[in-house]
Chain A
Amino acid sequence: MTRREKYDAAQRRRSLVIAASSTALVILALIILVPMAPGWEKVQSSFFNRAVLAKSFPKLLDAFLVNVMIFAWSAPLIGLLGLLIALARDAKSPALFPLRLFGAAFTDIFRGVPVILTVYLIGFGIPGLGLPRPWNSPYIWGSLALILTYSAYVAEIFRSGIDSVHHSQRAAALSLGLSERQVMRDVVLPQAVRNVVPSQMNMLIALQKDVSLLSFIGPVEIFRQAGVFKSLLANFTPYVGAALIFLAVTIPATRYADYLMAKQKRERR
């Protein structure tokens, strides 16, 4: 070891010790101080009630499958529609002007309205027009509301991805004789999509949570199931259980998105 290496190693050990001990101190303080608060016992029994958790957890997990299901069919459609909207907004030919206009209006409207309103309006409104079963299902129209809202955001991310591909790539592809469409499909899009994977991961995480908004129009997903338990047992612990289940999915996903983001940053350098 050189002098410098020894010094660096000592510095690393020192900061590790400081970080560990300060973290331990904070946690210890929380564990000791919070239960000393006068209302702690009541809070504990209504938010962190072991018996209630044990009773509700299996059903919460079952209900979470509904979330997973809605997520699973919405996400690919969001990707597809988002991409189409992004392409529509970047359409150059004048014949496609209406498409561009539509794309702009679409993103403005669906990014401007709170998701829950869209879920209500589409989830109850369109079936109210008199569609026969099963075509009036809240699963269909609720999912559509999510798809429309999220593809508006996803489209904007795709557009930023398309913009992030250096124009010299377009020039190089055009100089080979490729048509605008071929340039987009073979050269620009593959790079654009790769550039925005981390941002789109964050959209997926947000979507996973917003699937719960469908509970307002009927589907008994985890949030509604927790609410049913809450009112039957007069206890908020089922919400904590639902939060734990969400976290079990979203924390790894968030970490992964951050990892991708950091990796991309390194590669850009």
Chain B
Amino acid sequence: MAKLALRGVVKRFGEATVCDGIDLDVDAGQMVCLIGASGAGKSTLLRCINLLEPIEDGEIFLDGEDISVPGLDPHPVRARIGMVFQNFNLFPHMTAIENAMLAPRRVHSKTRVDVRGEIESLFTRFGLADRMQNYPDQLSGGQQQRVAIVRALAMRPDVMLFDEITSALDPQLVGEVLDVLLALKAEGMTMLLATHEMGFAREAADKVCFLKDGNVIEEGPPSQIFDAPQHPETQRFLARSK
């Protein structure tokens, strides 16, 4: 059974259909990459999975449980799904470690003392040990994005969603963030990424899905998608993004 499964997910903004019946499986421990042109609906799909947007039709299953039932309390579900954003979205009025401790304290009703040890070790693991007491505006983009990842991981999520987390970074900072993803993959984290980093997707992904106009046009292992794309749209997209 897939860790995360989407069946016929439809999302509309007024007249515009942004997700047009999307089917997608992410198995436990897999890293799946969503690629596609700007406006294809990648971010929207991730937001739907995290229940930040209600869906019009279809189902989303997390560990076999339908989390898209209308009326379901979204908060405990979101607590099980980590999400990292393109623009980091750290809370600017809190230090790095306070950012990471907020959700465990509030959602899991833990004290700072309870969670500090675990979170400090996360900071240390990702090379942020000496940055814990800094405010976001005192950190580089790469550091901020790593703090954002730590903040999501602090909730011990079942699945992590990443939405173009390197797009806002200077090229020389991209590597340090992608390294974090590789480390998480090695650990067996289930991950779904929207990305423009084709090189990284080719190297690290277990599966690549090409999205266009709210549809999964083609999916498969990176070798197939990048080296022998079947669909003409995929071919055109890859040719352009070279």
Contacts and interface: CB of A to CB of B under 8 A. Distances in A.
Contacts of B85: 168, 171-172
Interface in A160-214: 168-169, 171-179, 182, 186-187, 190-191, 194
Nearest to B93: A190
A182 B50 contact: no
A175 B91 contact: no
A179 B75 contact: yes
A176 B155 contact: yes
B93 A173 contact: no
Interface residues of A, number: 17
A178 B106 CA distance: 7
B78 A191 contact: no
B165 interface: no
Contacts of A172: 83, 85, 89-91, 148
B91 A177 contact: no
A186 B107 CA distance: 12
Nearest to A194: B93
Interface string B13-31: 0000000000000000000
A175 B106 contact: no
A168 B89 contact: yes
Interface string B42-73: 00000100101000000000000000000000
Contacts of A177: 75-76, 78-80, 103, 107, 155
B199 interface: no
B71 to A, nearest CB: 14
B89 A176 contact: no
Task: Tell which of B76, B81, B102 has the most Cβ of chain A within 10 Å.
Answer: B102
A17 to B, nearest CB: 40
Contacts of A169: 89, 91
Contact of B102 (A171, A176, A194): A176
B78 to A, nearest CB: 5
A168 B148 CA distance: 13
Interface string B89-108: 11111000000001100110
B155 A171 contact: no
Given A171-B52, A171-B89, A172-B89, A178 B83 contact: no
A175 B53 CA distance: 11
A191 B92 CA distance: 8
Contacts of A186: 91, 102, 106
Given A171-B52, A190-B93, A191-B93, A178 B103 contact: yes
Contacts of A174: 52, 74-75, 78
Given A168-B87, A169-B89, A190-B93, A176 B52 contact: no
Nearest to B77: A177
Contacts of A168: 85, 87, 89
Contacts of B155: 176-177
Contacts of A190: 93
B106 A182 contact: yes
B214 to A, nearest CB: 20
Interface of A: 168-169, 171-179, 182, 186-187, 190-191, 194
11 contacts: A169-B89, A172-B148, A173-B102, A174-B75, A176-B79, A176-B102, A177-B78, A177-B79, A178-B107, A186-B106, A187-B91
Interface of B: 47, 50, 52, 74-76, 78-83, 85, 87, 89-93, 102-103, 106-107, 148, 151-152, 155
Top 7 nearest A-B pairs by Cβ distance? A177-B79, A172-B89, A176-B103, A175-B83, A177-B107, A177-B78, A190-B93
Given A172-B91, A176-B102, 11 more contacts: A168-B87, A169-B89, A173-B91, A175-B50, A176-B151, A177-B75, A178-B75, A178-B102, A179-B75, A182-B107, A187-B102
